[in-house]
Amino acid sequence: MVESEKQGEHAHIRCRTIIEVLGKPKEHVENAIKEYIDHIKEDSDLVVLNEDYSDAKEQGKLWSKFVELEIVIKGTKKLISFCFEYMPSSIEVVKPEHLIMANSELSNFLNDLQARLHSVDMAVKNMKAENDFLRHNMNAVLHNAIMICLKVSKLSLEQLSHITGVDKKELEIFVDGMLKENKIKKENELYVLA
């Protein structure tokens, strides 16, 4: 191997990176990010020079907290591995200004990237298929529950919401669909079988 090819593979690379944790409750997020950084510090191929934690911030129903790390990593291979293993939100190479990477190292990186992208794509497709299956079956269960309830008596939207446990606004959309399909009808404010 030529000396310039070894430079990238064995160079010490100084980086700034941001690691973020999102979840709930707030205390779990605060503990999880500290444990995650402690785990990173155990890696013998990198040194954490500085860590700067943000305050936990509420984001909807979840909490978010991030830490900016300044690290030194041994070689481009470990830098790429760090990105895959710890999934930082961002990374900035500070030093050296130029890195040399061997063709084989770049090829390995690109193949790893493609394999992970395919894995994520497959996971997303599987989740979508599961969600579609659950949505279809939930709609069938809700349809049957409404039909059985209305077979027993006339009910208002609020009563149907209470019986099914589905929020009134969401149930109204579903019931409107059943009205359009002429499976049920509305008499005053009560629903009955068609």
Range(s) of the chain covered by CATH 1.10.10: 124-193
Q: Which fold has domain 124-193?
A: Arc Repressor Mutant, subunit A (1.10.10)
pLDDT for the residue numbered 4: 41
pLDDT for the residue numbered 37: 92
Would you place residue 7 in the very low, low, confident or very high pLDDT band (cuts 50, 70, 90)?
Answer: low
Would you place residue 84 in the very low, low, confident or very high pLDDT band (cuts 50, 70, 90)?
Answer: confident
Percent of the chain with pLDDT over 90: 37
What is the C-alpha separation between 83 and 86, in angstroms, rounded?
6
Percent of the chain with pLDDT over 70: 95
pLDDT reading at 8 higher than 60? no
Instruction: Give the tens place of pLDDT for each residue, 126-149.
Output: 999 999 999 999 999 999 999 999
Burial class (CB in 10 A: 0-12, 13-18, 19+), 18: middle
pLDDT for the residue numbered 57: 92
User: Which run of H or of E encompasses 22?
Assistant: strand 12-23
Lowest-pLDDT choice from 6-15, 67-76, 114-123, 180-189:
6-15
Range(s) of the chain covered by CATH 3.30.70: 3-101
Helix spans in 42-165 (H): 76-86, 103-152, 157-164
Q: Residue 80 CB: number of other CB atoms within 10 A? A: 18
pLDDT for the residue numbered 109: 81
CA atoms within 13 A on the CB side of 147: 11
Q: What number does CATH give the domain 3-101? A: 3.30.70
Average pLDDT over residues 141-165: 91
Instruction: Give the tens place of pLDDT for each residue, 16-56.
Output: 999 999 888 989 999 999 999 999 999 888 899 999 999 98
